[in-house]
Structures are given as structure tokens and as C-alpha cells.
Amino acid sequence: MPSTRIMIVLGERPWTMQALHLACAMARRQDITIVLVKMTPVIHPLQLGTEAGMLQLSRQDELDIQEFSATAEDYGVDFILEICQYANFIHAVVDAAEQLAVTAVFANVPPSHLQPWTQIQRWWLRWQLTWHNHQLYTLEQTGGKLEWTPAILLSDKGIH
């Protein structure tokens, strides 16, 4: 039986690192594979699946992906990297979740100049994923930055 999968849609580096730490902590306790998905937009839907539609990763993207991979390795969890072209971000996230057979999705809807539109997009993504039996995590409900606390405490009497 294949392991459960959690998908992280790579976004802004600080958000992605926060999502990655949380997902890796979840994955470490169970047989979960982390799927890192780099979304690349295309100018026209006819370019989907073509070489013309594939934007080359920037040097910063490559460095970030190396750091994300190293973080997952540090947690000792299995992970894979997928590149997904899209013409519509919301549909692409839902389609990727379906094709990759994931249970949960960490995604951050790209902000719009109109805050209400971003909220509508977030709601639509949540509704679409729920309809397909996927849980959405946006990290907004955390109320702030993810704080790390040690799992092992050292004292003069030994490890606890």
C-alpha cells in the first residue's frame, strides 16, 4: 500500500519553509511522503505541456528547492519534487492534488490587489479541494510564525 502524501505548493520562501516544517513534523510521525510542487504559469493555455510553456527555474528557485529538499532530508521524511504548468492556479492545484493522490495540500493563494478577491479565491480553492476529499492548509489559522521547540531536553540527569 502506498504511503499517504502531503502536497506543498511552493510559494514565497518564508511561507514555504513554515509549511514544510509543519508538514515534515506531521510526516515524521506517520508513513507520509511530502510532494513539493513548483507551479509555473504559462502565457497561453495552448502552451500547457509544451517546452515553450516550461519556464526555466531561476537560480534562486534552484537554491530554494535545494534548501527545501535538505530540510525534508533533515527530518528524515520521503519527498519528491514535481513541476506543474498552469493557466489557472486554482484549477492547477486541484488537478495536481488529484493526479498526485495526496491527502492534504499546503497552498498559499497568490495575493491580489483586491483583498476580497484573494479571500474568494482562497474559499474557492478550499471548496474545490474539499469536494475532492483533500484537506487545505493555508497557515493563516496559525496566527503568526511557526515557533520551533526542542523535542529533547538536556539536563544534568541525562536526556529526557
Q: What is the pLDDT of residue 53?
A: 47
What residues have CB less than 8 Å from 154, skipping those under 6 apart? 160
Q: CB of 136 within 8 A of CB of 129?
A: yes
Edge-first strand order for the sheet with 32-41 is 78-86, 32-41, 4-9, 104-106, 135-137
127 vs 157, more confident: 127
Amino acid (one-letter) located at 5: R
Has residue 114 got a pLDDT over 50? yes
H/E run at residue 75: helix 59-75
pLDDT digits (tens, 9 = 90+) for 82-108: 988 888 899 999 999 999 999 999 999
Task: Say whether domain 4-141 belongs to CATH 3.30.479.10.
Answer: no
Produce one character per residue of 115-132: b if its CB has 16 or more CB atoms within 10 Å, e if not.
eeeeeebbeebbebbeee
Q: Which helix (H) or strand (E) holds 83?
A: strand 78-86
Q: Do residues 67 and 14 make contact, with C-beta atoms less than 8 angstroms apart?
A: no
Q: Where are the domains of the chain?
A: 4-141
* Beta-strand pair 154-155/158-159: antiparallel
- 38-97 pLDDT, tens digit each: 988 776 566 565 565 455 667 888 899 899 999 999 999 999 999 888 888 999 999 999
Cβ neighbours, 10 Å, residue 36: 23
Provide the pLDDT for residue 124. 92
pTM (2 decimals)? Answer: 0.78
Average pLDDT over the chain, rounded to an integer: 81
Q: What is the pLDDT of residue 148?
A: 52
